[in-house]
Amino acid sequence: MSGDHHGSSAISERVRHVEALLEARGLVDEGEIDRSIDDFLAGGSPVNGARITARAWVDPGFRDRLLADANAAIRELGLSMAGGLQEQRLKVVANTEDEHNVVVCTLCSCYPIALLGPSPSWYKSEAYRSRVVRDPRGVLAEFGLELPAGTRISVWDASAESRYMVVPRRPEGTDGRPEEALAALVTRNGLIGTAAV
């Protein structure tokens, strides 16, 4: 057990203690939990979220399945939200002409690492977490995203059990582009909702 994924707080000490008990009882091999976390983090990338978005743009059936049951739909692309003993619930929301979605975790920084890679530092900041709920239009403007006054903004609050991802609107003039080229247009900020794409 390396403890690389833990800080020095009292909670971290408890986690290390539980890991030691699991290892002592033969329920996990020594270092197994750290290896699982390392594997999970190594596979996490915004490229995964971009692939999901591009597929949703070109395949209406996939888009429907994604919005209805994201965990099942992303398995079609060989992806999952399993990052430990239990799979996290993923809810995908899609931007439209009338509605723009943005994701936050007001309590800490819950985030779909497997699909978006490590979270940006601003996502974890108290300023973002508190302000995007109260003034989403103002926060989005600070990111350079000016939305029409009539666009409704929905703020989705992630939790330890549920993660969210935004499917941005497909950019105009991209008809006929292959899925890989479309995926290259998608940014991590677009998947969080702080950018148009």
Please enumerate, by residue number, every residue annotated as part of a binding site.
105, 108-110
Pick out the residues of the known binding site for Fe(3+).
Answer: 105, 108-110
Residues 47 and 53: beta-carbon distance below 8 Å: no
Query: If you count them, how many residues does the chain have?
Result: 197
Residues serving a catalytic function are: 105, 108-110
Question: Cα dihedral angle (45, 48, 51, 55), rounded to 10 degrees?
Answer: -150
- Separation CA 127–CA 105 (nearest Å): 12
List strand residue ranges (DSSP E) for the chain, in order. Answer: 89-94, 99-104, 152-157, 162-167
Distances (CA, A) of 120 to 73, 93, 111: 26, 20, 10
